[in-house]
């Protein structure tokens, strides 16, 4: 059985948000983002697959733009859906750890 401990393997970088892939199959990918305060995962979207974010620690703001920008406060325990084709980004208020599960192949487009 495959498993990952995202807290035990925390890897923060000074120059950018660090994305670590722990598990991946042909149908599903799991990545964890390690944010330092103020770091940004900039607007992007996945044209072919939904994505779910799980907040483990810290606080931040989730932005979604499907013709109108909306925000959601991120804190431990929050789960957010980024539907396929919808622009989204995350900004960390403090040290933030967020995992995602994304259906594959999802594709990737930057704004």
Strand-pairing partners, residue 10, are none
Q: What pTM, to 2 d.p., does this model score?
A: 0.92
Q: How many domains does the chain have?
A: 1
Residue 95 is assigned to a structural domain of this protein:
yes
- CATH assignment at residue 39: 2.60.120.10
| pLDDT the model gives residue 52 | 98
For residue 15, tell me if it sits in a domain. no
Give the model's pLDDT for residue 6. Answer: 78
12 inside domain? no
Q: Is 6 within the bounds of a domain? A: no
Over its length of 111 residues, how does the chain's per-residue pLDDT go in tens digits? 667 777 777 889 999 999 999 899 999 999 999 999 999 999 999 999 999 999 999 999 999 999 999 999 999 999 999 999 999 999 999 999 999 999 999 999 999
Neighbours of 49 (CB within 10 A): 19
CA dist 14 and 34 (Å) reads 10
Q: Considering the domain boundaries, does residue 8 fall inside one?
A: no
Note whether residue 79 is domain-resident: yes
Domain interval for residue 55: 24-110
């Amino acid at each position: 059985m495959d498993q990952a401990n995202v807290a035990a393997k925390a890897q923060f970088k000074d120059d950018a948000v660090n994305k670590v892939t722990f598990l991946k199959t042909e149908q599903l990918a799991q990545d964890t983002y390690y944010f330092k305060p103020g770091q940004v995962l900039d607007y992007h979207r996945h044209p072919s697959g939904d994505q779910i974010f799980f907040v483990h620690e810290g606080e931040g703001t989730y932005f979604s733009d499907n013709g109108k920008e909306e925000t959601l406060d991120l804190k431990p325990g929050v789960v957010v859906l980024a539907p396929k084709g919808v622009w989204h980004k995350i900004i960390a208020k403090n040290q933030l750890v967020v995992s995602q599960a994304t259906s594959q192949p999802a594709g990737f487009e930057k704004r």
